[in-house]
Amino acid sequence: MLEAGVLTLAATPIGNPLDASVRLRLALAQAELIAAEDTRRLARLASDLQVKMTGTVLSYHEHNEAERTGRLLEALAAGDRVLQVTDAGMPVVSDPGFRAVQAAVDAGFPVTVLPGPSAVLTALAASGLPSDRFAFEGFPPRRDGRRAAAFAPLVQEERTLVFFESPRRTAATLEAMVEAFGPERRAAVCRELTKTHEESIRGTLEELARWAQGTEVLGEIVIVIAGAQPVAADPADLVPEVLERAQAGERLKDAAKVVAAAARGVTSRELYQLALRCREERQS
For the chain, which residues make up each domain, given as ranges?
7-117, 120-225, 235-283
CA neighbours closer than 13 Å in the CB half-sphere of residue 253:
1
Please tell me whether the overall predicted TM-score, pTM, comes out greater than 0.75 for this model: yes
211-227, pLDDT tens digit by residue? Answer: 999 889 999 999 999 99
Pick the CATH number of 120-225 from 3.40.50.970, 3.50.50.60, 3.30.950.10, 3.90.1110.10: 3.30.950.10
Domain 7-117 identical in fold to domain 120-225: no
pLDDT of residue 203: 98
Q: How far apart are CA 193 and CA 11, in angstroms?
A: 15
* Helices marked H in the chain: 22-30, 39-49, 65-77, 98-106, 119-127, 144-151, 170-181, 205-213, 235-247, 252-262, 268-283
pLDDT average, residue stretch 246-258: 90
pLDDT of residue 281: 82
Query: Rounded to whole angstroms, what are the CA distances from 175 to 166, 182, 212?
Result: 14, 10, 9
CATH class of the 7-117 domain in this structure: alpha beta
pLDDT of 246 over the 80 cut: yes
Closest to 90 measured CA to CA, from 72, 117, 52, 127? 117
109-142, pLDDT tens digit by residue? Answer: 999 999 999 999 999 999 999 999 999 999 999 9
